Amino acid sequence: MDLQPTDDQNSLVEMITGFAADRFPIEIVRSYGEQGGFDRSRWSELAALGTFGIAVPEESGGVGLNFIDAVLVHEALGAALVPGPLVAATLAAGVVDGVIDGSVVPCLIDLPPDGPLIVEHFRSADVLLVVSNDGVNLVPCSELNGSDVLHPTDPTTPVTVLASLPAGESVGGPELATAWRQRGSLLASAQLSGNSSGSTSLAVDYAKEREQFGRPIGSFQGLKHLLADSWIRTEVARSSVWAAGVTIDEPEVGSIPRAVAGARLTAARAATENAKTCVQVHGGMGFTWEVDAHLFLKRAWVLETQFGSIDEAADVVAGLYAVR
């Protein structure tokens, strides 16, 4: 048992974090949400790092690491709010040609949809992957009609409402769909965990700098306790996200559905609560478009809906505890 990252894993996280700071500063993140803002060359740079093929075997063109390594990468991407269909690309890598090197950009929908056929990053993508109980199907985006939402809730996650959904061609059966739902959920949770850490850093930096009543606002216990709670929620979330990632690699150590659903609950809470704290700590400025606090909150809202709701995750955990 060793549930702390190895030196190699720490280096991997540092590499992704450094790349994100360098190539995806917040201005670039914001521009990805604008019409035509998706930058394929930057996406290819991300792909060239091995981001999407990290857990794909080397003989299939991937990096050949474990799923936990993909989890750590997504945590780092989430902390920097790196935009784009990151989860779809990581799932499709090694299954759909061209995804590993970034030349084919996938987007994804999990059926049945909760309401309209809403797809994130559809207008930037080449193929749509349709996950259902029957399996995974692929539809070229050129064969689909949809209308872009004018004001997506998360300004860095453009969404499109599809008019209809043709059957497409099968790329895998129910087993692949189950695996993708579990892995997709966990990768989104890893981004949520990272998001919770990113918004905490932003809030802590501001609390040290902003002065009121003649001293930094971070010296007041009212803020200290809010921010300490944020840090704690991140550490709790990170613990269950990492444990779930290792459970996918070593299924004999526990229940994958319970670990994945539990990770979703703790990570979604950490991300949404910490981002709310981040807005609150920024005071009136936190209520402006200009300050980045709302971007963390809105991205968290997007991620927490992916591959099932919070209530469904709670039902899964309760049900699996109850049968023991």
**Chain residues that interact with other proteins, rule: CB under 8 A:** 1-6, 9, 68, 204, 207-208, 215-216, 218-221, 223-225, 227-229, 231-233, 235-237, 239-240, 242-243, 245-247, 250, 252-254, 258-259, 261-263, 265-266, 311, 313-322, 324
What letter represents residue 142's amino acid? S
Which residue lies nearer to other proteins by CB, 40 or 224? 224
Min CB(142)–other proteins separation in Å = 41
Min CB(315)–other proteins separation in Å = 6
**Helices 256-281, 293-303: inter-axial angle, 10-degree rounding:** 160
State both tokens at 188: 């989104």
Min CB(257)–other proteins separation in Å = 12
Report the candidate in 75, 71, 40 with the shortest Cα–Cα distance to residue 54. 71
Distance CA 246, CA 212 (A): 45
Min CB(103)–other proteins separation in Å = 32
Which residue lies nearer to other proteins by CB, 172 or 216? 216
**Helices 67-79, 174-209: inter-axial angle, 10-degree rounding:** 40
Which residue lies nearer to other proteins by CB, 40 or 225? 225
Report the candidate in 280, 120, 97 with the shortest Cα–Cα distance to residue 184. 120
Which residue lies nearer to other proteins by CB, 83 or 194? 194
- For the chain, how far is it from start to end, CA to CA, in angstroms? 23
Min CB(83)–other proteins separation in Å = 27
Which residue lies nearer to other proteins by CB, 8 or 97? 8
Which residue lies nearer to other proteins by CB, 55 or 139? 55
Min CB(208)–other proteins separation in Å = 7
DSSP string, 121-158: TGGG-SEEEEEETTEEEEEEGGG--EEE-SS-SSTTS-
β-sheet bridge partners, residue 140: 127
